[in-house]
Amino acid sequence: MGSGKRRFAAIALAGAIAACGGPSDPGGQMPAGYEAFDMTPAVRGDAATIDMDRLAALLPDGFALSWETVEQSGNHTRLTGVELKPDDAAALAFMAGTVEIWGLDPDAIETLKSGNWIETQTRLVERIEAGDLSVSGLEALYAPVLDGMNEAMAPLRELDPDMPDPSLRLEDYAFNVDRFVMAGLDVHPLDKAREGDPGYPGDTDERQLQHAAALAGAFALDGVAFTGLRANMAMTQYGETSQMDFSAGFVGYRGFARGDLASADVKDLSFDMAMQIPPEALGPEVTATGSIALDMS
């Protein structure tokens, strides 16, 4: 398997762990159609427990997984004080109170990261459940976008040196999820027919897209569900602060079957943005102050 596939498998593992964090009693009942996500698998005491140091070593290079306590019984592991952080302190990091995992197969994950692929359908994890996920390091994620926008707006200051500073700056943010559930993640043998026309050189965009399609077709997932998503962001431009608030009571995806998706559901979606642009930034004829609100239940 090529280096791109090895990176994909490793990043998938990091993403699965990062998305799972929360308190010992995550709140939020699942809506109709997702009732099965409220049912946890049976704990099989005769199953082998996870070697946590081995699991941490399976993360992509440059990431570190830490926890405060761990409790294990057969196929079930419960961690508290979970952090997934990159070596770069400014990069995106994930924090959580607890993570609960049922039926993880570290052998299969290790095989994928090693650069090989499994030959038969294998369940990577039965279930991961958690809540109250939070993130840090969004500054690094948004920096390239803001830098590009500010570069494009630089000529405005040259045209009117007295104009308030049009540069966009991220002042504050928060991102939280009350509860997260992922159920039934399987990996399948790669579909050679999807891996692409050998006539394409390995580094072309076309060949990379074909690899991506083959990888997407190699995974299946019973579903994922989130309750209580909240995101808040404050940004400054023209000397004024704009506030953006987003929330969703529920977001869920069911039946991801090797590239196909049976259902995507969103409930209680709300978006509110309030911004002010001073008259001197728009010209004497134009003023703008107000807010935009969207509420969908």
Quick check: 61 pLDDT over 70?
yes
Quick check: 185 pLDDT over 80?
yes
- Residue 134, classified by CB atoms within 10 Å of its CB into exposed (0-12), middle (13-18) or buried (19+), is middle
Task: For the beta carbon of residue 280, count every other beta carbon within 10 angstroms.
Answer: 14
| 294 or 262, greater pLDDT | 262
Name the residue with tokens 């057969």: 74
Q: What is d(CA 283, CA 278) in angstroms, rounded to the nearest whole number?
A: 9
Q: What is the pLDDT of residues 86-100, one digit of tens each?
A: 887 667 888 998 899
Q: What is d(CA 267, CA 255) in angstroms, rounded to the nearest whole number?
A: 18
The two most distant CA atoms of the chain are separated, in Å, by 76
Q: Cβ(123)–Cβ(182) under 8 Å?
A: no
Quick check: 45 pLDDT over 50?
yes
Q: Cβ(22)–Cβ(130) under 8 Å?
A: yes
- Residue 128's pLDDT is 92
Contacts of 150-156 with CB under 8 Å at 24 or more apart are none
DSSP 160: -
Q: What is d(CA 76, CA 104) in angstroms, rounded to the nearest whole number?
A: 8
Instruction: Give the lowest-confidence range in 23-37, 47-61, 111-125.
Output: 23-37
Q: Cβ(51)–Cβ(151) under 8 Å?
A: no
- How many domains does one find in the chain? 1
Structural domain boundaries enclosing 190: 3-296
Over pLDDT 70: what percentage of the chain? 76
Q: What is the pLDDT of residues 107-153, one digit of tens each?
A: 888 888 877 787 888 999 999 998 889 988 877 777 888 888 878 87
- Residue 79's pLDDT is 93
| 254 or 297, greater pLDDT | 254
Q: How confident is the model at residue 282 (pLDDT cuts 50, 70, 90)?
A: low
Quick check: 195 pLDDT over 70?
no
